[in-house]
Structures are given as C-alpha cells and as structure tokens.
Amino acid sequence: MTVDPTPAVPDPRLPLGLSAADPDLVRSVGVALTDVEKILRGVADSDVSFIDEAALHLVNAGGKRFRPLFTLISAHVADGPLPEVVIASAAVELVHLATLYHDDVMDEATMRRGAVSVNARWDNTIAILTGDFLFAHASGLVADLGTDAARIIAETFGELVTGQMRETVGPAPDEDPVEHYLSVIGQKTGSLIATAGRYGGMFSNATPAETEALYRYGKIIGAAFQISDDIIDIASPAAESGKTPGTDLREGVKTLPMIHALAAAENDRLTELLAGPISGDAEVEEALELLRGSQGMVRARETLEQYAERAHSALTPLPDGPARAALELLTRYVIERTR
C-alpha cells in the first residue's frame, strides 16, 4: 500500500476550529471547496463584462463559505463530496450571496466582507439585479439535480423571503419579541443552512434518518450562526467584522442583544436610543458602547450556548466518525467566534 506523504494542510477558508478535524476529511473538503469556487466564478461567465464584474464582486471578496463547507462535511456522513454534492454546495452559496446583495440595499450598507458593497460602488438597482442574476444561476444548478432538489430550494426561497419580511415588519403587539426573533432567524438564516445539510445527505447516499438529522442540525446551527453574527455586529469593530457596524441599529431592527437589553430596562439612555432607527454615527456608536456592557449581551450569549447544546443533541442519530466529530467542532466554532 502506498502512503501519501503529503500532510493535510487545512484550507485557509476553513474555520480554525476544523484544524483539529480528521486530516483526510480536511483534505477532501479543501479540494471540494476549490471545485465549488470554480463553479461560483463560472456563473459570472456572460457576454457582458459589467455583469461579470458585479456578480464576482462578493465572490472575490471571499467570506467564510459556511454553507458549502457544511454541505461538504455533511456528505462525509456517507459517500463524501460526490459531484452532485459539489454542485449543491455551490448552489446554496449562490443563494446566500444573492441575499447579501439584497440585504445591503435594505440596510443601506457601505461595506461587505471588508470591501465596498455593490450598492455603494454602483447603485441599488445594480445590487438588486445582480442578486437576481445569482438567484437565477442557483436555480439552474439545482434544476440539474432533480425535481426533489428544485422543490426543496423553492421552499427554502419562500422561507428566506418570509423571514426577511417578518423581520422588516417586526413582531405583532401581542407577540413575544424574543420568540419572534428566534422564529425569524430560523427562517431567514436557518432554512438555507438546513437545506445545505439536507443536500449533503441526499447527494452522498446518506440514509433518510441521517439526512433528516443533518437537516435538523442545520436549522439549529444556522440560527445559532445568526445569533453569533448579531453579537459580533455589536461586539466587534468594522475592521474585524468586515461589515458596516450597527446596520441593525440604523434600520431599527432589534436583534437578540437589543431585545434583552430593552427588557432589562437597565439604562434609560439605551432605551431612548433603541426606540427607533438611529441615523447619526455618533448615536450609533453610543448605542453600541452601551450594548457592549449590557445584560442584553450576556443573555444573548446564554441563548447561543443553549442553541449549541441543541445542535449537539441533533447529531445523535449520526454514526460516530470524522464527519460527526467535525460537526461538533463546527458547533464549538460558532460559539468561540463571538469571544
């Protein structure tokens, strides 16, 4: 038997927590991510150079590639990243990228992944149409995977849009704000990551029970990922997060740390600032400083820990092995990235 002398070097795009994962799995996922990147860049192959530039703007900006990463790791529960898994991984990332173009328009963001956002570099119309362009290509990729895959991504589109609309409108007068928030992020963020896990199982020949477990885990860890993002949006400066800080404050969208801070009513000035959208930079920074020292952040971190425990339990139906161990590491990463 010939032994490969090449050490497993973690792909630089993989979360640092996965450096402790099985070396063969890390190597396999890294190779597959390279194939995903080729597909992502191929979607911008059009006859109009301007469309290419706009479509590749966020692809070239990089990012965590959390969704394709999760799809590829999920596939290792069974037969690994088969060609259909790689295509599905690229499709879910294209959907995610498309939502970012639209999000930046709604948030009036000027930065995304450390680069100037498309709406700031060009305008809102170009950003919206570029997002639509990527949605179209994602649908084309999924169509080649069969009618079940197409139905699943259509249902996921519906969940994404519903969650975004509910966030924009806010909770009803008789609705608990925390329950509303958690339900919304389950739709807006958890649904696509759940689909990533389902695709990873479906197209690697995992059993129905294993595929369902990956779906449930994805739904939970996706919501946890959004909670951690909302914590980071408050706790980290723009230089670290790569995004415009306080975008939710400017839009009047109340994330979990804000909801808990308001419920605690521990600071009258913070309550005043969070009463509506904040337009001034000085007021945004003041609100961020007050939130960073509030009980709202403490409570949000507690909720994040609870979601991590639920994610751990969701992995129980999966067989012991490198894939399940890697998903445990991924769960830990979602927590530790907020520290």
Q: In the predicted model, is pLDDT for residue 319 greater than 50?
A: yes
End-to-end C-alpha distance for the chain, whole angstroms: 45
21-336: CATH topology is: Farnesyl Diphosphate Synthase (1.10.600)
Residue 290: the pLDDT is 95
In percent, the amount of the chain with pLDDT more than 70 equals 85
* Residue-range domain boundaries for the chain: 21-336
d(C-alpha 152, C-alpha 142), whole Å: 9
Q: In the predicted model, is pLDDT for residue 72 greater than 90?
A: yes
User: Which segment of 51-55, 151-155, 302-306, 315-319 scores lowest on mean pLDDT?
Assistant: 51-55
Residues 97-123 have a mean pLDDT of: 67
d(C-alpha 202, C-alpha 191), whole Å: 16
Residue 139: the pLDDT is 94
Residue 5: the pLDDT is 35
Q: In the predicted model, is pLDDT for residue 104 greater than 90?
A: no
pLDDT band at 226 (very low <50, low <70, confident <90, very high): very high
Q: In the predicted model, is pLDDT for residue 264 greater than 50?
A: yes
pLDDT band at 133 (very low <50, low <70, confident <90, very high): confident
Residues 66-81 have a mean pLDDT of: 96
Using alpha carbons, select from 36, 100, 264, 175 the residue that is nearest to residue 109.
100
User: Which segment of 112-121, 209-218, 303-312 scores lowest on mean pLDDT?
Assistant: 112-121
What pTM does this model have? 0.88
